Structure 1
């Protein structure tokens, strides 16, 4: 019997089995890389409506001027198709391009520096093999002098960026440390929720410093502290990140994009890990007790609808149908106004912005319905908005400062400049 065909047949089968295994491993790596890209929220900055995914072109407002996101598809001319894995890692984690050019920290590489080698490998594989190349050429970032001198970023990085890998929290559970890794690295939550220094740097990059995630200001919105989240239960935090809404609040401003492109795609275990970490670091006092007498007084006056102030009348005419005389809204549908963070913020810019421009909750897998609040810029004057915002900030058990028409005018001008 000629055994050669038998050996050949076995060799072919073994080869086919090996190829299938390699392809399966590659598929798993691509799936992991796509998930890592969601954790890093790459799409939010590098994809814009009407253009190929990840082809860049998003205009990012900064204190330095307008910065445009780049094409990060594997196109060899306009994108990153010629990058080696090390060059890709240096761009993401160090803000250094293959030609030595320095990125501006609108790209959150100070946070991405903590991305693990394993996750970086998966991310690189997915961008090179899982993303469609595009020759789209985004606008070029052209800042005025001296910010146009990118070589100066070398000194900024030396002063404000650490190249240390992620450091687990000693004594914390595996779940808390998973949350810490996600928040401090890929999630780059500190880039918005940590206050900035004189050099426009994040004042802290991890929870060892009490300023980390203690709040800040972004494009005229007061960004709340995430430390402890004392007003929300763990499930309310998970719901907010997964759905863009919970029984108390709904997303607005920049956070809408974060939920739409990133956190709504996270696994339940990762959402719970983030929540566990934020609860673990603590740092915020519990919410003040509800002033039941003040709440009842506001409810009764709005219900009677007599001898109303201008702000109270405007509230009934424009807001009462959804947020009700109780100021509690509808759980999971219309956000609560009594004791809401955006309402009681020291800077009322976020509230004013929402009244003028409205807001729309994103459609997510776990909450596909899209709920929108109309903007009232066309029907309310600056003085009207000031009176309405003042009532909301001082009605029920809210005790925030009054709002001036001048402050409303500034927000309105800012919105018009972006039209």
Structure 2
């Protein structure tokens, strides 16, 4: 055997060994686990633009300082994360720092992902590197004006608001509860939408130890409802089974998903295991209510509402409800659950912030598609049918109907929602 032939054989053997090691290292079970975890984290909803390619980014996220466009997280080496090591990947998810060292805006829920375990980070990395198709698509520049577009203050933000500790199990609770807490606080990042934000856009609570955690917040013209145990505005009247059914299908006897929550159902929770959803329900039902203090405990009462229906001239909101809403939701506001959402006692209707109610009347709602099957009925849009005063009258009627006893909504509040860009309600 001559030297050239020997070197070729040695090189081929080395290549074969390296290739075999690479294939061996990529465990198909890890890819599958990572795919599931990416679903739990609902990564596709944020990192996929309307009609765009999966995980290629480009979705605008409206923030108080301007629009942020989500990035390409496919394994493309030039425009995505193909050159990220697992350490780089973990640092971006948990610390909000990209491979090149720039800080990510906290619209990326890395304060929640800081709680994700090493094992789950590894599975996610394997999935994104070996289970996602690379897409060559450059990231779009954010629309944040100078000097707010400087990123170095984010290092200070992290030092003030980022809790770097992973999830800490509660030994006094069972495994299902702890699994639910881990998912809600961590990869599920529920608090990113449902927890009030402070002056620096920080979440006011990252765990149930805070009375602010999951107590509701308004983002992009939608009010993400209170998930605490409040009787009127939260989950106090929901059983664990109600929560599980809602997360699996998008609708239950109390409410239906609408707006941006439909993407969470369609792309995330409907594909989660019953075990994980049961854990989430178990955890949420132990979070005490904090929002309903001073409010009268809600109890259904149709009497006063029916009286308004008898004098439609005096109550224009009742007339509008009869004309546009009663056919689906009924005079008594009970709908036909789970197909047509009840309005009476619905936490979204009883929310003191009417943003979601206004938004869904103006812009309708994306269609729920649990298990890929489109829901038979969908909320239509009325932005071209009703003016601001009429929408305000309609919302105000629903806020007072069926013993809700909320303050009326102004036409200005409707106008503020109407002028939001289309991306806020698609």
TM-score (norm 2): 0.88
After the TM superposition, which of the residue ranges 242-251 and 137-146 deviates more from structure 2? 137-146
User: Superposed, which structure 2 residues align to 1:5-404 within 5 Å?
Assistant: 26-228=27-229, 229-284=235-290, 288-292=297-301, 295-299=302-306, 302=309, 309-365=315-371, 368-404=374-410
CA distance in 2, matches of 1:406, 1:306: 23
Q: Which whole-Å deviations, capped at 9, do the CAs of 1:372-398 have from their partners, x for residues lacking one?
A: 111111111211111111111111211
> Secondary structure of 1:259's partner?
helix
Shift of 1:253: 2.3
Question: Which residue number corresponds to residue 13 of structure 2?
Answer: none
| Pair 1:390–1:142, CA change in 2 (3 A) | closer
- Contact 2:254–2:345, Cα closer than 8 Å, also in 1: no
- Contact 2:236–2:289, Cα closer than 8 Å, also in 1: no
Q: Which whole-Å deviations, capped at 9, do the CAs of 1:75-99 have from their partners, x for residues lacking one?
A: 1101111111101110111111122
CA distance in 2, matches of 1:355, 1:249: 15
Shift of 1:50: 3.0
How many residue pairs were aligned? 398
> Secondary structure of 2:81's partner?
coil
CA distance in 1, matches of 2:145, 2:112: 26
After the TM superposition, which of the residue ranges 69-78 and 226-235 deviates more from structure 2? 226-235
| Pair 1:71–1:407, CA change in 2 (3 A) | same
- Contact 2:300–2:344, Cα closer than 8 Å, also in 1: no
| Pair 1:24–1:109, CA change in 2 (3 A) | closer
- Contact 1:242–1:366, Cα closer than 8 Å, also in 2: no
- Contact 2:312–2:318, Cα closer than 8 Å, also in 1: no
- Contact 2:195–2:215, Cα closer than 8 Å, also in 1: yes
- Contact 2:339–2:375, Cα closer than 8 Å, also in 1: no
| Pair 1:278–1:411, CA change in 2 (3 A) | same
CA distance in 1, matches of 2:226, 2:31: 35
CA distance in 2, matches of 1:49, 1:412: 20
| Pair 1:370–1:89, CA change in 2 (3 A) | farther
Shift of 1:221: 2.9
Shift of 1:261: 1.2
| Pair 1:49–1:376, CA change in 2 (3 A) | closer
Shift of 1:142: 4.7
- Contact 1:111–1:205, Cα closer than 8 Å, also in 2: yes
TM-score (norm 1): 0.89
> Secondary structure of 1:61's partner?
strand
Shift of 1:298: 2.1
CA distance in 2, matches of 1:301, 1:180: 44
| Pair 1:134–1:307, CA change in 2 (3 A) | closer
Gaps spanning 5+ residues in structure 1: where? Answer: 1-18
CA distance in 2, matches of 1:205, 1:314: 41
> Secondary structure of 2:282's partner?
helix
- Contact 2:60–2:423, Cα closer than 8 Å, also in 1: no
CA distance in 1, matches of 2:58, 2:312: 53
| Pair 1:326–1:24, CA change in 2 (3 A) | farther
Q: Which whole-Å deviations, capped at 9, do the CAs of 1:52-71 have from their partners, x for residues lacking one?
A: 21111111111121111111
CA distance in 2, matches of 1:112, 1:140: 24
- Contact 1:361–1:370, Cα closer than 8 Å, also in 2: no
> Secondary structure of 1:60's partner?
strand
Shift of 1:283: 2.7
CA distance in 1, matches of 2:339, 2:118: 41
| Pair 1:274–1:367, CA change in 2 (3 A) | farther
After the TM superposition, which of the residue ranges 183-192 and 391-400 deviates more from structure 2? 391-400
> Secondary structure of 1:391's partner?
helix
CA distance in 2, matches of 1:130, 1:417: 29
Shift of 1:281: 2.2
